[in-house]
Structure 1
Amino acid sequence: MSKVVLVTGASSGIGKAIATFLSEKGYKVYGTSRNPKNIEDFNFKLIALDVLNIETITTAIASIIKLEGKIDILVNNAGIGVTGPIEETPTDEMRNAFNTNFFGAIDVIKTVLPHMRKQKSGLIINTTSIAGYMGLPFRGIYSSSKGALELVTEAIRMEVKRYGIDLVNVAPGDFATDIISRRYHTPLFDDSVYKENYKANLDLMDAHVDTGKNPIEMAEKVYKIIHTKNPKIHYKVGGFLEKFSIVLKRILPDTWFEKLLMNHYKL
Structure 2
Amino acid sequence: MQIDLAGKTALVTGSTQGIGAAIAAGLARAGARVAVSGRGADSVDAALERLRGQVPDGDFLAAPGDIATDEGTRQVLDALPRADILVNNLGIFGARPALEISDEEWRRYFEVNVLTAVRLTRAYLGGMTERSWGRVQYIASDSAIAIPAEMIHYGVSKTSLLAVSRGFAKAAAGSGVTVNSVLAGPTHTPGVEEFVYGLMDSSLPWDEAQRAFMREHRPQSLLQRLIEPEEIANMVVYLSSPLASATTGAAIRVDGGLIDSIVP
TM-score category, normalised to shorter length = 0.7 to 0.9
Q: Displacement, 1:96? A: 0.7
Name segments (4+ residues, structure 1) moved above 4 Å: 200-208
Q: Distance in 2 between matches of 1:101 and 1:140?
A: 13
- 3-state SS of the aligned residue for 1:169? strand
Match of 2:139 among 112, 121, 127: 127
Change in 2 beyond 3 A, CA 1:129/1:115: same
Larger Rg: 1
Q: Displacement, 1:179? A: 2.2
User: Aligned partner of 1:31: which letter?
Assistant: V
Change in 2 beyond 3 A, CA 1:12/1:84: same
Residue of structure 2 in register with 1:212 after alignment: 226
User: Aligned partner of 2:165: which letter?
Assistant: T
Q: Displacement, 1:206? A: 10
Q: Displacement, 1:135? A: 2.4
Matched, 1:57 2:73: yes
- What is the total number of aligned residue pairs between the two structures? 228
Q: Distance in 1 between matches of 2:67 and 2:215?
A: 29
- 3-state SS of the aligned residue for 1:48? coil
Say whether the 8 Å CA contact 2:62–2:79 is kept in structure 1.
no
Match of 2:31 among 26, 31, 52: 26
Say whether the 8 Å CA contact 2:137–2:165 is kept in structure 1.
no
- Counting aligned pairs with the same residue, the percent is 24
Say whether the 8 Å CA contact 1:51–1:78 is kept in structure 2.
no
Unaligned runs of 5+ residues in structure 1 are 188-199, 251-267
Q: Displacement, 1:180? A: 3.6
Say whether the 8 Å CA contact 2:12–2:20 is kept in structure 1.
yes
Residue of structure 1 in register with 2:206 after alignment: none
> How do residues 1-267 of structure 1 correspond to structure 2 at under 5 angstroms?
2-35=7-40, 36-38=44-46, 39-43=48-52, 44-65=60-81, 70-180=82-192, 204=216, 211-225=225-239, 226=241, 227-232=243-248, 233-240=250-257, 242-243=258-259, 245-247=260-262
- 3-state SS of the aligned residue for 2:87? strand
Change in 2 beyond 3 A, CA 1:55/1:146: same
Say whether the 8 Å CA contact 2:63–2:75 is kept in structure 1.
no
Q: Distance in 2 between matches of 1:22 and 1:95?
A: 32
Q: Distance in 1 between matches of 2:229 and 2:194?
A: 17
Q: Distance in 1 between matches of 2:111 and 2:236?
A: 24
Give TM-score, length-normalised by structure 2: 0.77
Unaligned runs of 5+ residues in structure 2 are 1-5, 53-59, 200-211
Change in 2 beyond 3 A, CA 1:206/1:81: farther
Once superposed, what is the RMSD of the aligned Cα atoms? 2.9
Residue-by-residue CA offset, 1:8-50 (whole Å, 9 max, x unaligned): 1100110000001111221111110001241321223232132
Q: Distance in 1 between matches of 2:252 and 2:83?
A: 22
Q: Distance in 2 between matches of 1:82 and 1:174?
A: 13
Give TM-score, length-normalised by structure 1: 0.76
Moved more, 112-121 or 6-15: 112-121
